[in-house]
Structure 1
Amino acid sequence: MKGTVIRTAEQEEYPHPQHDRFFLRDVVTTEINPALSLHRGRIEAGGEIRPHAHEGQTETFYILGGEALCTMNGEQHTFGAGCCVVAPPGVQHSLKNIGDEPVDLLAIFTPPLK
């Protein structure tokens, strides 16, 4: 078995089709790790990840930079760099950039989304 080195700066970034000003890179997919998927995300100023839930996955996201308003189960929380949120299957959640700088984040799905 061999390891894999991934340079996210070399990966293609694409706009998420269901959210506003939210861009993704699929860092780790089931092809590399069958236990999880890892995605690098960027929410531009004024952008948001609209309210949604995942029926089959837990989504864990870790804020790397920027300032975001997270709504989960009807409760709102403001987050910055170093904050982590875990949304179990079926739990509705959203994330809105409330600052002037992009919100950079990592999103981890277990089991994998892709």
Structure 2
Amino acid sequence: MTSTQTLPYVVREEDATLFYEGPEICREFLRNEAMWFGTSLVNPGDTGAVDPGHEGAWEVFYCVSGEGFIDDGENEYLLKKGDALAVPPSVPHRIHNRGTEPVFMVWAGGPGDAPASPAK
């Protein structure tokens, strides 16, 4: 769908684009010229692949459950349930789970149609 869509619409989990960034299970529910939105699940002991960042676009991660670290290659940021992290344009990042339960994060960015990971 494009940002010119005039009616709300539902995207079911089974209709989202499923892809993997290493062991990180990702689902993208929306991507258009305005924004993108999806989820990541990282199991205990796993680390997702490095997302190279998005030229000209911010990305926000929100921790829904569990806790995980997001690193930018130099710093790590701990996100617990209810925390969010804003990642500036072109900053590489990846999710680590050093906990004992899965970490589930939602992410969104914009403006959209930014270069996606190769698997997206």
Shorter-chain TM-score category?
0.7 to 0.9
For residue 78 of structure 1, what is the aligned residue in structure 2?
Answer: 78
| Structure 1 residues not aligned, in runs of 5+ | none
For residue 29 of structure 1, what is the aligned residue in structure 2?
Answer: 31
How far the C-alpha of 1:28 sits from its partner, in A, is 1.4
For residue 37 of structure 2, what is the aligned residue in structure 1?
Answer: 38
For residue 14 of structure 1, what is the aligned residue in structure 2?
Answer: 18
For residue 48 of structure 2, what is the aligned residue in structure 1?
Answer: 49
CA displacement 1:32-74 (0-9 Å, x = unmatched): xx41110121112222233432223211111111111122362
* TM-score, L = length of structure 1: 0.78
| Structure 2 residues not aligned, in runs of 5+ | 1-5
Query: Aligned-residue CA RMSD in angstroms?
Result: 2.1
For residue 3 of structure 2, what is the aligned residue in structure 1?
Answer: none
Q: Does structure 2 conserve the Cα–Cα contact (< 8 Å) formed by 1:58 and 1:111?
A: yes
Q: Partner letter of residue 23 of structure 2?
A: R
For residue 68 of structure 1, what is the aligned residue in structure 2?
Answer: 68
Distance 1:49 1:57, change over 3 A: farther
d(CA) in 2 for partners of 1:55 and 1:48?
23
* TM-score, L = length of structure 2: 0.75
- Larger strand fraction of residues: 1
More displaced, 100-109 or 68-77? 68-77
For residue 58 of structure 1, what is the aligned residue in structure 2?
Answer: 58
d(CA) in 2 for partners of 1:14 and 1:46?
21
How far the C-alpha of 1:13 sits from its partner, in A, is 6.0
Q: Partner letter of residue 72 of structure 2?
A: M
